[in-house]
Amino acid sequence: MKKSIVAIAVMSIGLGAAHAQEVVKLGSAAPLTGTISHLGKDLENGSRMAVDAVNAQGGADIGGKKVKFQLVGEDDQADPRTGTTVAQRLVDAGVKGVIGHLNSGTSIPASRIYDQGGVPQISPASTNPKLTQQNFKGVFRTIANDVQQGGALGTFAVKTLGATKVAIIDDRTAYGQGLADETDKAVKAAGAQVVAREFTTDKATDFNAILTKIRATNPDVIFFGGMDAQAGPMLRQLKQLGINAKFLTGDGGCSPEMIKLAGDAINSTTYCSMAGLPLDKMPGGAKFRADYKARFNGEVQLYAPYAYDAAMAIIKAMEKAGSVEPAKYLPELKKISFDGVTGNVSFDDKGDIKEGAVTMYQFKDGTWVAL
Amino acid sequence: METLIQQLINGLVIGSVYALIALGYTMVYGILGLINFAHGDVLMVGALTALQTMMFLMGVAPGMSPIAMLTIALMVAIPVSMTIGFLMERLAYRRLRNAPRLAPLITAIGMSFLLQTLAMIIWGRNYHTFPQLISTTPLEPIAGVFITPVQVVIILASAAIMIGLSLLVTRTKIGRAMRATAENHRVASLMGVDTNAVIAFTFVVGAALAAVAGVMYASNYGIAHYGMGFMPGLKAFTAAVLGGIGNLGGAMLGGIVLGLVESFGAGYIEHMTFGFLNSSYQDIFAFIILGLVLIFKPTGLLGERVSDRA
């Protein structure tokens, strides 16, 4: 009984919309409160800019009609449970596509809800490989995942830093271990040797024993897959043990916090990686920065360009399919290819971005400098 | 060879810190039969108080010499930790002295959470950089073995404190009162020993040792945060049991042995098991040793008192 009332209500909304100009809802989900709310708002702003840009031209040309878009923004608080609640709310609101979430921890559980609701989801920020490995049909991302990042790290260690012997440490978390495994593969593929593979935990502070063991293998580069809270002290202990190898870590250690925690042990032989490109190096970066500033009177934080491309990918797929219905436009989304702000946007068969960029950073003059 | 000696030094440094913390566990256990799980968190309070003091000093007197600054920070951190140790005993444990054994144990766990939460409210969730006032630049390596001044200080200071504590317990009047209370506190009180004061004194001394250990730990690793006391606390408790809980010499020996086992475990477990186990099992290795010792010598390496206490 309840269901049929909802169905009638939905139908009447649909009919009402058909008479006036058609407005299609897109969902945005990101943390808008809490410690990373600035990044979440940035993500939402990126999607909003895409929607505004399309609407400003009178809407998208879909199946011979002009269609305008409305962005429904939700706050997932970076919390997995709130994330699924918000996902359900978006599905119930009848959105035709979702741009979000930010954290892998919220994206992964939410993706199941979107899959059940038949709504395609593009995350502009979640990098955990698992997101696109769940065999859901409509899950994509516009940012490089940790597999791509690990590959780039391994290649960088061998090709750019010229390492022949690499030692790898990870903190046994899903993130750290995943990144270390991919780096390990890439190092071997590039023709160098992994001389030590050691392990710690995400709560440890003492690494002297494993570092001493590593010292005996005399590596050129030491890679750590983990967070800044461990990478900082680890760097200090490297120095205390007189190890001069270059130190390389992933995005977990690519933070201002890392610089603080490593103290005077950090120097120009310390490198880290981040998924994505710095704004200046994106093909459409300069224009995007100016437009963003004009619209929101602030600087781009991190994910706005990826969210912009994600929203554009959905709209372009709808145009190609001539329909706003997920079932119809999904095949087009899978094979989409266009030049976005961040570069070429096209997805592989899993839904990961094909040419996901990874940027390496080097510590210089008290900060991380993109290479 | 140099790797072997380096691992030995790694083990000695961390083992000395464990030993200092273990002394606090074992003294309280010896006298009350209570495992004070909040002991590790007293260490954390000591380290963070010292950090706060150093930050303050750097603000008002930037040119102060590092040694003076460290001394002042310790002079603040030790009394603060002592006060917490005293209050813990006075407000929580004393009321439960005749309660079933589980009650004070659960209270101790509660105390631990309470201290951590308070510290989180005061100092936040972030990791803090702890000023390394004693140099951490390694000394000139001897035969490829590196040791930093702060590590030398840790080993020497721990040894000095342990000798001092042994003298306190064996040679002084209050030490004799402590031993009497540990033997049987009802009889001791009949003999005119103020057992309440003795027990309070034990907590306060244990807390002071924890504060020193906390400052050493944070100085060595250069970081401090509200949860930093948990792991060393757990390890030190293990060390106390390993050496024979209730026995001062046992705690010292247990701490050093545990530090060495961890260090050599992480370094050589892969060779010893032909690649079957790796360094992610380093903690398990320490607990296997503990298990073996307890199977063949249930009272620990040096312990005698456990059986009639428990």
CA distance B173 to B193: 10
Nearest beta carbon to residue B263 from set A209, A240, A260? A209
Residue A64: pLDDT band (50, 70, 90) is confident
Task: Inform me whether the C-beta atom of residue B132 falls under 8 Å from chain A C-beta atoms.
Answer: yes
**Complex ipTM value:** 0.86
End-to-end distance of chain A based on CA atoms, in angstroms?
A: 61
**pLDDT classification of A229: cutoffs 50, 70, 90:** confident
> CB distance from A232 to chain B under 8 Å?
yes
In our burial notation (b when 16+ CB lie closer than 10 A, e otherwise), range A38-57 reads: ebbbbbbbbbbbbbeebbee
Q: Position of tokens 């997101």?
A: A131
Residue A34 near chain B (CB below 8 Å) = no
Contacts of A240 in chain B (CB under 8 A): 136-138, 146, 148, 151
Torsion of CA B243, B249, B255, B256, to 10 degrees: -110
Closest to B279 (Cβ–Cβ): which among A206, A210, A261? A210
pLDDT higher than threshold 90 for residue B109: yes
Whether B1 has a pLDDT exceeding 80, the answer reads no
The pLDDT, as a whole number, for residue A4 is 52
Residue A275's pLDDT band, with cuts at 50, 70 and 90, is: confident
Give which of A224, A241, A255, A260 to mutate to test B binding, by max B Cβ within 10 Å.
A241
Residues in chain A within 8 Å Cβ distance of B151: 240
Comparing CB atoms, the residue among B7, B129, B146 nearest residue A261 is B129
Q: What pLDDT shows up at residue B289? A: 82
Q: How far is A265 from chain B (nearest CA, A)?
A: 9
Place of tokens 């054994």: B101
In sequence order, the 6+-apart residues with CB closer than 8 A to the CB of A366 are A259
- Go through the domains of chain A in sequence order and give each one's CATH number: 2-143+280-356 (3.40.50.2300), 147-275 (3.40.50.2300)
* Predicted confidence (pLDDT) per residue in A207-225, tens digit: 999 999 999 999 999 999 9
Angle subtended at Cα A162 by Cα A156 and Cα A163, rounded to the nearest 5 degrees = 90
Q: Which helix (H) or strand (E) holds A338?
A: strand A338-339
Give residue B306's pLDDT band: very low, low, confident or very high (50, 70, 90). Answer: very low
pLDDT of the residue at A192 = 92
CA–CA separation, A120 vs A330, rounded Å?
Answer: 7
Rounded CA-CA distance A281/A286 in Å is 9
| Mean pLDDT estimate for chain B | 89
Of the candidates B130, B207, B146, which has an alpha carbon nearest to the alpha carbon of residue B13? B146
The residue that leads in pLDDT, A68 or B298, is A68
Q: Give pTM, 2 decimals.
A: 0.78
Q: pLDDT band at residue B26, thresholds of 50, 70 and 90?
A: very high
Q: What does DSSP assign to residue A170?
A: E
pLDDT of residue B274: 75
**% of chain B at pLDDT higher than 90:** 58
Q: Average per-residue pLDDT in chain A?
A: 88
User: Which of the 8 DSSP states describes residue B126?
Assistant: S
* Residue appearing with tokens 């892969």: B270
Rounded to a whole number of angstroms, the distance from the CA of A74 to the nearest CA of chain B is 27
Average pLDDT on B23-50 reads 93
Q: What are phi and psi of A361, to 5 degrees?
A: -125, 150
Q: Is the peptide bond prior to A101 cis by the omega test (within 30 degrees of 0)? A: yes
Structural contact between residues B33 and B57, judged by C-beta atoms closer than 8 angstroms: no
Structure confidence at residue A20 as a pLDDT band (50, 70, 90): low
Name the nearest CA neighbour of A52 among A76, A26, A14, A17: A26
Mean of pLDDT values over A113-118: 94
Q: How far apart are CA A239 and CA B135, in angstroms?
A: 12
Residue in A197, A242, A240, A205 with CA at minimum distance from that of residue A222: A197
- pLDDT-derived band at A1 (thresholds 50, 70, 90) equals very low
Task: Kindly tell me if the per-residue pLDDT of A174 is higher than 80.
Answer: no
- Say if residue B152's pLDDT is above 50: yes
What does the DSSP assignment read for A110-147?
A: HHHHHHHHT--EEESS---GGGGGS--TTEEESS--HH
Q: Give, in words, the CATH class of B2-132+141-309.
A: mainly alpha
> Is B113 an interface residue toward A (CB < 8 Å)?
no
Query: C-alpha angle with apex B212: B208 to B216, nearest 5 degrees?
Result: 165
Q: What percent of chain B has pLDDT over 70?
A: 97
The structure tokens listed for B93 are 């444990």
Read off the pLDDT band of A356 (50, 70, 90).
confident
Q: What are phi and psi of B117, to 5 degrees?
A: -65, -45
Pairing of strands A165-170, B128-129: unpaired
Q: Which two tokens stand for residue B14?
A: 């961390």
Cβ atoms of A70 and A24 closer than 8 Å: yes
Beta-carbon separation of B3 and A215 below 8 A: yes
- Pick B10's closest partner by Cβ from A209, A260, A261: A209
- Say what the pLDDT of residue A5 is: 52
Whether the CB-CB separation of A261 and B222 falls below 8 Å is answered with yes
| pLDDT given at position B297 | 85
How far does A73 lie from chain B, in Å, by closest CA? 29
Q: Give alpha helix (H) positions in A20-144.
A: 37-56, 80-92, 104-117
On whether any CB of chain B is under 8 Å from the CB of A241, the answer is yes
Nearest-CB residue to A233 (from B148, B222, B267): B222
Q: What is the pLDDT of residues B204-250, one digit of tens each?
A: 999 999 999 999 999 999 999 888 998 899 899 999 999 988 888 89
Query: Which tens digits make up the pLDDT trace of A65-107?
Result: 899 999 999 999 888 899 999 999 999 999 999 998 998 889 9
Query: What residues of chain A lie within 8 A of the CB of B6, using their CB?
Result: 212, 215, 241
Main-chain phi, psi angles of B186, to 5 degrees: -70, -45
Predicted pLDDT of residue A176? 85
Mean pLDDT calculated for residue range B73-92: 95
Those of residues 234-263 in B touching chain A at CB distance below 8 A are: 262-263
Confidence of residue B64 (pLDDT cuts 50, 70, 90): confident
pLDDT band, very low/low/confident/very high, at A15 (cuts 50, 70, 90)? very low
User: Is the CB of B219 inside 8 Å of chain A's CB atoms?
Assistant: no
Instruction: Please answer yes or no on whether A241 and B138 come within 8 Å at the CB atom.
Output: yes
pLDDT exceeds cutoff 80 at B63 = yes
